[in-house]
Amino acid sequence: RLRIMRLPRLHPNRDYADSILFIPAMLDMHFPLLKYAFYSKDYYPVVMDDEDGITDIGLKYTNHDMCYPLSQIVGQMIKALESGKYDVNKVKLLMPTAGDACRGANYTGALRRAMQDAGYGFVPVLTLNVRDYEPESMMKFGFAMVWRAMFGLYYGDILMVLLHATRPYEIRKGAADRMWKKWIRIISQDMMSGKNLSLLRMHRNFRLMCRDFSRIRSYGADKCSKQVIGLVGELYVKYCHLGNWDVVDFVEQQGAEIHVNPLSYYALYYMDTHMIRKANLEAKGARVLMKLLEMIQKDMLKALTKYGYFTLPPYWQLKKEAHGLVNYNIRNADGWLIGAEAVGYIRHGVEKVFAAQPFGCMVNHCAGRGLYPSLTRRLGKGYIVSTDVDASASKLNYYNRLLMLIHGL
């Protein structure tokens, strides 16, 4: 049983930190916990949450040919700088990137250009990646940050799955959301204090979370059976309501249940395709970390399965089951993982899959949309509806395609 010493207590005080770190709103279910990984003497993290008018602001300072998520990120950050709530001389901007051939690799440079045009060229832009992309502006991270991030990742994963699988069946409206907030408070206190961040405690909490949510779900789950829609696609569009136009709420309003695969699959995919192929000490460390992440993921999925919740197979099994159906050489951005998740859903009983992607995303076209007809034909079952998200796209068409998947197929 692996244990860990108590981590230092965090100081969530803006005046305590040297810099205010703006983090783009990318992960709705994870950043309430992941943000604690960034608290330090160096940084006071602020996750962007303003939504009004950000698209117009973003398009004013970014090229419309760029990826849709960029306009949202730029719009949020510039609006926050203009709000007067923050000392702009202390602000730094964080831009995570895969650092590969995806358009997202240009986000850092595009954000700097936008800041320059908006009159904030003096605000530093940091990048978070593991491929030595722009090493001079890379954010430094240590053991405590990685350990807290790991707990934020997996607790965010399991709470996301439990919330989405419970809320459609609740009899008392808001019960699932209240349970989610309760556990967010509990884990937030642990992340702040540095206590209870052991793998043994995580193992116990997985089962306690499943138990608590299952007690809500059991009231309604036996009385009705709802169809499940699997969501696949690009990272921002998949995990952020701004990117997918509130697809989770829309599906639930239509009387269906949505399943969003945990973010840990992307983390393992990223390490598998981007890191462990290096022949250096960093790659060896990545292999050790990957083994740990695999172990935790299996434990999380085991807890969910025990309490009757649907899950896809663990990462390596999911990859194996997609052999011959997806091209493992497509490793840019979300790459072959998009198609592999679609295969996993159809193979394991979720035969309706909604694929959301930014307009013009070549990775999604090559590893997603261009593949879907072949997948359903070769699997002999399943329906995959793909649609683009863009500032100029019609939400009516977007929701109509989703309605067709839910009610018409």
Q: pLDDT tens digit string along 240-260?
A: 999 999 999 999 999 999 999
What's the whole-number mean pLDDT along residues 64-72? 89
Name residue 101's amino acid: A
pLDDT of 369 higher than 60: yes
CA gyration radius, the chain: 21
Percent of the chain past pLDDT 70, that is, above it, reads 93
Model confidence pLDDT, tens digit, residues 164-198: 999 999 989 999 999 999 999 999 999 999 999 99
Answer for the pair 163, 135: CB distance below 8 angstroms, yes or no. no
User: What is the pLDDT at residue 250?
Assistant: 98
Q: How far apart are CA 160 and CA 156, in angstroms?
A: 6
1-5, 82-86, 161-165: which has the minimum mean pLDDT? Answer: 1-5
Structure confidence by residue, pLDDT tens digits, 268-284: 999 898 775 655 666 77
Least confident window among 18-22, 223-227, 325-329, 335-339: 223-227
- Confidence at residue 100, expressed as pLDDT on a 0 to 100 scale: 72
Confidence class for position 285, pLDDT limits 50, 70, 90: confident
List, in order of start, the domains of the chain with CATH numbers: 19-137 (3.40.50), 226-261+312-409 (3.40.50)
CA dist 130 and 150 (Å) reads 15
**Where do the H-state alpha helices sit in 222-358?**
235-239, 241-244, 247-253, 263-270, 281-306, 315-321, 336-347
With cut-offs at 50, 70 and 90, classify the pLDDT of residue 1.
very low
Between residues 130 and 286, which one has the greater pLDDT?
Answer: 286
For residue 34, pLDDT over 90 is answered with yes
Of 184-188, 338-342, 359-363, which gets the smallest average pLDDT? 359-363
pLDDT for position 278 = 59
Band (pLDDT 50/70/90 cuts) for residue 409 is low
| Tally of CB atoms within 10 A around 57 | 22
pLDDT at 101 over 90: no
- Residue 280: the pLDDT is 64
Distance CA(14)–CA(44), nearest Å, equals 6
Res 2 pLDDT > 50: no
Q: Other CB atoms closer than 10 Å to residue 365's CB: what's the count?
A: 14
- Local confidence band at 135 (pLDDT 50, 70, 90 cut-offs): confident
